[in-house]
Amino acid sequence: MDFAGKKVVVAGGSGFLGTNLALRLADLGARVRVTVHRKKLQASIPGADIVQADLRHPEDCARAVEGMDILFICAAQTSGAAAITATPLIHVTPNVLINTLLLETAYEARVSKVCYLSSGAAYPGTGSRPVSEGEMFDGDPEEVYFPAGWMKRYAEILCRTYAEKIAKPMQTVVVRPSNVYGPFDKFDFGVSHFTAALLRRVVERQSPLEVWGTGEDIRDLVYVDDFIDGLIAAAATDLPVLAVNICAGRGYAVREVLKTLLEVDGFHDAKVTFDRSRPSTVPVRLMDDRLARSLLGFEARTSLADGLQQTLAWYRTNKIAH
């Protein structure tokens, strides 16, 4: 698919992934519309139509998707391990409303394709083995992700329903990200994921530099530019329905991420402590990238060191200077 001239709406255009996606779509020549709610836009999107919308309300969803060709559902209430552990239902009700109403209004508006951002956290546990796309419903999500995981799964079922189970179907694409990091991420300790939190601690030269948990948890980390490459490639397919992992295809321990951050930023005398009483989620979560490689020709190309270095530079320019 050529995105030039296509009318594309990014729901959640002020978030981490929505911002990066909207910037890329603008570069590709798309006619971009972005929705914003409480959070201001993080970047100037060339030529974008900005729609103020609370996507928990059907009339706002209808305004957002009216006249558009493609919808990317990036809007979501998200947070880190602390919020998930303390308030397990925090992700459920608002996101069920957002996903359900956007799909319904997109179908009514005759949007030709919807691309939904799901989550690798919705998968059942597979221990240290990477999880592949066909395993999504083989068991419950991990206990800590149970509410949010089933919320994501319900949205995936809705995507299949619109694509396969009704007359006059609508094409849908489900993209399951691993842990994405990079510019425009959330660096507020209350809601950030571990990579952004560690990066901020390194930049601030915190002493001691506290790491939550043991540092042994392993995650698949993919740099945001690579992720957007995969997301665009998935959205460009002509299949009636698709669910695909977009990930790096390899895991990094939290200790390894911190070690790389300290090296690339020259913080050689850091006093690192590990607080085992702090919440973590699951010890290992890895994702299989073979379908994305074979079907989309996608491969994550940015090394961890390069991705962290680029994010550090962006953070210092955009967060420290302002």
Domain boundaries, the chain: 7-181+222-249+285-301
Around Cβ 175, how many Cβ atoms within 10 Å?
A: 24
2 three-state secondary structure: coil
Q: By the 8 A CB rule, do 21 and 228 touch?
A: yes
Q: By the 8 A CB rule, do 71 and 9 touch?
A: yes
Q: What is the pLDDT of residue 77?
A: 76
Q: What is the pLDDT of residue 322?
A: 47
* Tokens at 68, concatenated: 């558009």
The string of pLDDT tens digits covering residues 305-320 is: 999 999 999 999 998 6
Residue 128 has pLDDT above 60, yes or no: yes
Question: Which residues, at least 6 apart from 141, have a Cβ–Cβ distance to it below 8 Å?
Answer: 121, 122, 123, 124, 148, 149, 150, 153
Q: Cα separation of 161 and 107, whole Å?
A: 11
- Model confidence at 281, pLDDT cuts 50, 70, 90, reads confident
Q: By the 8 A CB rule, do 147 and 89 touch?
A: yes
Q: Cα separation of 191 and 38, whole Å?
A: 15
Q: What is the pLDDT of residue 278?
A: 77
Find the mean pLDDT for residues 173-178.
98
The string of pLDDT tens digits covering residues 57-109 is: 999 999 999 999 999 999 987 665 566 667 777 779 999 999 999 999 999 99
Among candidates 8, 288, 269, 242, which has minimal Cα distance to 116? 242
Find the mean pLDDT for residues 241-246.
98
Residue 164 has pLDDT above 60, yes or no: yes
Q: Cα separation of 308 and 260, whole Å?
A: 8
Question: Which residues, at least 6 apart from 159, have a Cβ–Cβ distance to it below 8 Å?
Answer: 103, 114, 116, 172, 173, 174, 241, 243
Q: What is the pLDDT of residue 84?
A: 63
Q: What percent of the chain has pLDDT over 70?
A: 96
Q: How far is CA 209 from CA 258, 272, 287, in A?
A: 10, 5, 29
Calculate helix-pair angle for 304-315, 254-264, nearest 10 degrees: 60
Q: What is the pLDDT of residue 81?
A: 59
Find the mean pLDDT for residues 150-177.
98
Find the mean pLDDT for residues 129-150.
95
Burial 304-317 (b: 16+ CB within 10 A, else e): beebbbbbbeebee
DSSP notation for 52-112: E--TTSHHHHHHHHTT-SEEEE-------HHHHHH-TTTTTHHHHHHHHHHHHHHHHTT-S
Task: Average the pLDDT over each of 63-67, 196-200, 280-284 and give the range with the smallest value.
Answer: 280-284
The string of pLDDT tens digits covering residues 29-71 is: 999 999 999 889 999 999 999 999 999 999 999 999 999 999 9
Find the mean pLDDT for residues 22-34.
98
- Model confidence at 216, pLDDT cuts 50, 70, 90, reads very high
Q: By the 8 A CB rule, do 73 and 114 touch?
A: yes
CATH class of 7-181+222-249+285-301: alpha beta
Q: Cα separation of 321 and 103, whole Å?
A: 40
